[in-house]
Amino acid sequence: MGKNYTQMKYISLNDKNHKVSFEDAVVRGLAPGKALYFPEEIPNLPKGFFQNLNKHSKEEIALEAIKPFVGDEINKNGLQRILKKTLDFEFPVVPISENTGTLELFHGPTLAFKDVGAGFMAGCLGHFVKKGNLGKITVLVATSGDTGGAVAKGFLGVEGIDVVILYPKGKVSEIQEKQLTTLGQNITALEVNGNFDDCQDMVKKAFSDSEIGEKRQLTSANSINVARWLPQMFYYFFAYKQLAEKEQKLVFSVPSGNFGNICAGMLAKKMGLPIDHFIASNNENNVVTRYLKSQKYLSKPSVQTISNAMDVGNPSNFVRILELFNNEFKPLSNQLSSYSYSDEETRKAIKKVKEKYDYVMDPHGAVGYLGLQEFLAENPDYYGIFLETAHPVKFLETVEKVISEKVEIPVSIKEVMNKEKKSIEISDYAELKEFLMQ
Ligand SMILES: Cc1ncc(COP(=O)(O)O)c(C=O)c1O
Ligand SMILES: N[C@@H](CCOP(=O)(O)O)C(=O)O
């Protein structure tokens, strides 16, 4: 039997003596000095649990996986309620070829994999606000495309919480922009003259600004927040449940930007989920691909690509990945490969997979597909899954041009496209501060 965790502590990755409860980690978002929180202990789930995954519903699997991280800070009924609401859609593995399948993570309300993390965090934060005397909370979030829409939808109308989304002007798709600028109520969108890294830096800076801290209680809904990051591990359990019959070794290719998703998968492996290898598939924002080649981590300002949600120059979660491996390069590089692709290669992959397998990938999934094929070419004894992290309709212009076909637009997207965009333009941190100090 696994250990019974009643209270998991979260340490700061800058100072392991700084420890807080799950609630504190969620409410604060970031530890002092812009550091990330990390679970003090990684639980081991019992072997029997993995052997019997296919006997359990997705809500039961998620409950077992997340319970040790939440402890008794949210009771079982409360956690079940949050999970039921969060996981109210499917996570199918779709076979593509003999040795390749895709895990479709885009069946949620905003057609992006972020819906799970956003829904779970909104549920947890809503629970803590309701039960305690926390006062009003402002959720700050930086987005390169998809997080913003998912967080906006997940937190819409949640009492006691205001959401402020920063997104880079002109660098998100039309649908993504509509999803994060049209909801109103407790959601405000700030359109930043800059790139995603500028947005993410401003958000992190606001956390260490004591004047803002006196005026507003801030937290983050990016994957730096443990309640946004941890539930992303569910995907790997759900995929494994559908793959239990496969006898080959198993590899996951994860289109990566801020590296929260792949890091959650590696956490699931550490908890006992039998995954053999991971691939971080990158567009030209490839700091981790370069790190694995050179052992030197040299971040660069992000460049704009057609897989825009991965246009991240300095991924927040890479420090968590290093922590999972005690900062040792060898064991990390044994478990993780990484490749990087240009937009041209991404377009060609979308076209090829449509023609050969009649499957339409979005640009992010296509980068994942390319990474997987490169790995499988050298490791033919594996079965590979690439994650389809967003619905192709979110990148309509790119995808339709490449496949020379119309993509059917779901009703929810048609509705959002007819709404009016409302945003406030800002250019620097001073303007963000002015807004937050109002
Ligand atoms: C569609 C899509 N794919 C991939 C990613 C990269 O995920 P991560 O930041 O967890 O690496 C994102 C955003 O982060 C995304 O929105
Ligand atoms: N790709 C993301 C960037 C932020 O990632 P997060 O997981 O840390 O929120 C996006 O779509 O905004």
CA of 333 to the centre of ligand 2 (A): 24
CA of 256 to the centre of ligand 2 (A): 10
Side-by-side strand order, sheet with 10-12: 15-20, 10-12, 37-39
- Measuring from atom 15 of ligand 1, which residue has the nearest CA? 309
Cβ atoms of 395 and 306 within 8 Å: the answer is: yes
Greater model confidence, 323 or 133: 323
Q: For the chain, how many structural domains are there in total?
A: 1
Q: Which token pair is 176?
A: 């993504």
Minimum-distance ligand 1 atom for the alpha carbon of 362: 1
Q: Is residue 172 part of a domain?
A: no
Q: Which of 106, 258, 263, 285 to mutate to test the pocket of ligand 2 (most atoms within 8 A of CB)?
A: 258
Minimum-distance ligand 1 atom for the alpha carbon of 394: 1
Minimum-distance ligand 1 atom for the alpha carbon of 390: 1
Residue 104, ligand 1, Cβ within 6 A: no
Residue 394, ligand 1, Cβ within 6 A: no
Cβ atoms of 301 and 313 within 8 Å: the answer is: yes
CA of 107 to the centre of ligand 1 (A): 15
Ligand nearest to the CA of 221: 2
Residue 224: φ, ψ to 5°: -65, -25
SS (H, E, C) 142-199: ECCCHHHHHHHHHHCCCCCEEEEEEEECCCCCHHHHHHHHCCCCCEEEEEECCCHHHH
Ligand nearest to the CA of 168: 2
Mean pLDDT of 274-302: 96
Q: How many CA atoms lie within 13 A of 15 on its CB side?
A: 10
Note the pLDDT of residue 2. Answer: 54
Which residues 6+ apart lie within 8 Å of 180 measured at CB? 143, 148, 149, 152, 165, 167, 172, 187, 189
CA of 54 to the centre of ligand 2 (A): 31
How far apart (Å, rounded) are the C-alpha atoms in residues 252 and 384?
Answer: 6
By DSSP bridging, strand 382-388 and strand 10-12 are unpaired
What pairs with residue 172 in β-bridges? Answer: none
Q: Is residue 284 part of a domain?
A: yes
Q: Is residue 79 part of a domain?
A: no
Residue 265, ligand 1, Cβ within 6 A: no
Residue 99, ligand 1, Cβ within 6 A: no
Note the pLDDT of residue 5. Answer: 78
Q: Is residue 329 part of a domain?
A: yes
Greater model confidence, 130 or 43: 43
pLDDT band at 430 (very low <50, low <70, confident <90, very high): very high
Minimum-distance ligand 2 atom for the alpha carbon of 176: 11
Residue 186, ligand 1, Cβ within 6 A: no
Residue 146, ligand 1, Cβ within 6 A: yes
User: Which residues form the domain of 314?
Assistant: 90-111+231-409
Q: Is residue 354 part of a domain?
A: yes
Helices (H), 295-428: 318-324, 329-335, 343-357, 363-378, 396-403, 411-417
Alpha-carbon dihedral 209, 211, 214, 219, rounded to 10 degrees: -30
How far apart (Å, rounded) are the C-alpha atoms in residues 362 and 402?
Answer: 11
Note the pLDDT of residue 135. Answer: 87
Q: Is residue 326 part of a domain?
A: yes
Ligand nearest to the CA of 222: 2
pLDDT surpassing 50 at residue 158: yes
Q: Which of 105, 143, 146 to mutate to test the pocket of ligand 1 (most atoms within 8 A of CB)?
A: 146
Which residues 6+ apart lie within 8 Å of 223 measured at CB? 117, 147, 229, 232, 258, 260, 261, 316, 317
Ligand nearest to the CA of 280: 1
In the chain, % of residues over pLDDT 90: 94
- Cβ neighbours around 299 below 10 Å, total: 16
Q: Is residue 163 part of a domain?
A: no
Minimum-distance ligand 2 atom for the alpha carbon of 260: 7
Farthest CA pair distance, the chain: 59
What pairs with residue 269 in β-bridges? Answer: none
Helices 76-86/114-131 angle, 10° precision? 140
CA of 135 to the centre of ligand 1 (A): 31
Catalytic residue numbers? 114
Note the pLDDT of residue 1. Answer: 44
Residue with tokens 């959401």: 163
pTM confidence score: 0.96
Distances (CA, A) of 203 to 60, 190, 199: 35, 12, 6
How far apart (Å, rounded) are the C-alpha atoms in residues 39 and 90?
Answer: 28
Note the pLDDT of residue 133. Answer: 73
Give the residues surrounding ligand 2 with Cβ less than 6 Å away.
143-148, 222-223, 257-258, 260, 309, 316
Mean pLDDT of 171-194: 96
Minimum-distance ligand 2 atom for the alpha carbon of 117: 7
CA of 390 to the centre of ligand 1 (A): 9
- Cβ neighbours around 29 below 10 Å, total: 27
Q: Report how far apart the first and last C-alpha atoms of the chain are (Å, whole number).
A: 52
Note the pLDDT of residue 246. Answer: 86
Minimum-distance ligand 2 atom for the alpha carbon of 311: 1
How far apart (Å, rounded) are the C-alpha atoms in residues 260 and 371?
Answer: 18
Side-by-side strand order, sheet with 424-426: 217-220, 137-142, 161-168, 187-192, 424-426
pLDDT band at 95 (very low <50, low <70, confident <90, very high): very high
Q: Is residue 137 part of a domain?
A: no
pLDDT band at 275 (very low <50, low <70, confident <90, very high): very high
CATH number at residue 331: 3.40.50.1100
By DSSP bridging, strand 10-12 and strand 37-39 are antiparallel
CA of 79 to the centre of ligand 2 (A): 24
Instruction: Look at residues 40, 41, 64, 4 and name the one whose alpha carbon lies nearest to residue 240.
Output: 64
- Measuring from atom 4 of ligand 2, which residue has the nearest CA? 143
- Measuring from atom 11 of ligand 2, which residue has the nearest CA? 146
How far apart (Å, rounded) are the C-alpha atoms in residues 173 and 112?
Answer: 13
By DSSP bridging, strand 93-97 and strand 137-142 are unpaired
SS (H, E, C) 35-60: ECEEECCCCCCCHHHHHCHHHCCHHH
Q: Which token pair is 292?
A: 């694995």
